[in-house]
Amino acid sequence: MIIVFGSLNIDMHMPVEHMPRAGDTVLCPAYTRVPGGKGANQALAAAKAGGNVKLFGRIGSDDFGKEVLVNLKEANVDLTGVTSTDDACTGCAMVCVDPRGENMITVASGANMLAKQDEIPDFLLDKGNTFLLQLETPPEENWKLIQRAKQYGAKIILNLAPARDIPINIIEMVDVLILNEIEANTLALYLGFDVISPSVAARRIAANFDITCVVTLGAKGSLACDPNSVWEVKAMEVNALDTTAAGDAFVGVLAASIDAGTDMPLAL
């Protein structure tokens, strides 16, 4: 089973001719409202890839909270771990998308900041389960869950997104660390590496912490390293319409593949 601890949002997608700058007002013809949030996106992707998925997180007791669960229910994601609160609104993101498919996102965290890892019962902390986490919920809750899951020998996948400082002892507990190019460079700076590049960062992180490090490279595909091996996989050639949640789709499918016992080259 894949246990996802993460965020649930409603995304407001706005197609713009160019990204707004400071002081700008940019008009667009309309917006589309769709479910999102890194936790929900990755849980949905993992379920669609065949995984048995249970999601833990927090939503508001509002209409957005109901709306964000619809696609997850249809994909048979177990939502008994998603609770609602009257103390905050459901998370919401404004997503501007330009004609090249590139995006700029602002997130109002809302109820996601009330998510508590201790709502995950101990009996799920089984060495046969895979835990998938991101960083749109309180970081300290993620660190506590990783420490709990590690004690029971569960597999831990951490998507360090959005990029934040992370305690060294937490990196050491992770089995698979997934970053994009910006997040890899941010972590390399935090760790004091003298050469800053995604590929160098991945190799050093894998070697220094004895883990598998995966870096997504956009149109160039992905790179993964463990202390003994390096794998590079090209991306499929597509006409990108909107890159929002592309990384989440990758992470979710990768998690489902790893949970099913697929080796890393094929999982990538």
Specify the 3-state DSSP secondary structure of 131: strand
pTM to 2 decimals?
0.93
What are the distances in angstroms from CA 11 to CA 8, 214, 227?
Answer: 10, 26, 38
Q: Which residues of 132-149 are buried (b: 16+ CB within 10 A; e: fewer)?
A: bbbbbbbeebbbebbebb
What is the residue whose two structure tokens read 């990768």? 254
Sign of CA dihedral 51, 54, 56, 57: positive
C-alpha to C-alpha distance for 230 and 213, rounded to whole angstroms: 10
pLDDT at 117: 97
DSSP code for 18: S
Under 8 Å between Cβ of 133 and 74: no
C-alpha to C-alpha distance for 155 and 2, rounded to whole angstroms: 9
Please give the structure tokens belonging to residue 233. 């996989």
C-alpha to C-alpha distance for 175 and 209, rounded to whole angstroms: 10
C-alpha to C-alpha distance for 74 and 89, rounded to whole angstroms: 23
Domain ranges of the chain: 2-7+38-88+112-159+238-267
pLDDT at 161: 93
pLDDT at 100: 85
Say which CATH architecture domain 2-7+38-88+112-159+238-267 belongs to. 3-Layer(aba) Sandwich (3.40)
DSSP code for 235: P
Under 8 Å between Cβ of 33 and 93: no
Cβ count within 10 A of residue 70: 10
What are the distances in angstroms from CA 25 to CA 15, 28, 33, 37, 189?
Answer: 13, 10, 20, 26, 34
pLDDT at 194: 81
Residue 222's beta-bridge partner residues? 216, 233
pLDDT string in tens for the chain (268-residue length): 999 999 999 999 999 999 988 898 999 999 999 999 999 999 999 999 999 999 999 999 999 999 999 999 999 999 999 999 999 999 999 989 899 888 888 989 999 999 999 999 999 998 899 999 999 999 999 999 999 999 999 999 999 999 889 999 999 999 999 999 999 989 988 999 887 788 888 999 999 999 999 999 988 999 999 999 999 999 988 888 878 889 999 999 999 999 999 999 999 9
Length reported for the chain: 268
Per DSSP, the residues of 22-88 read: TT-----S--EEEEE-HHHHHHHHHHHTT--EEEEEEEESSHHHHHTTHHHHHTT-EEEEEEEESSS
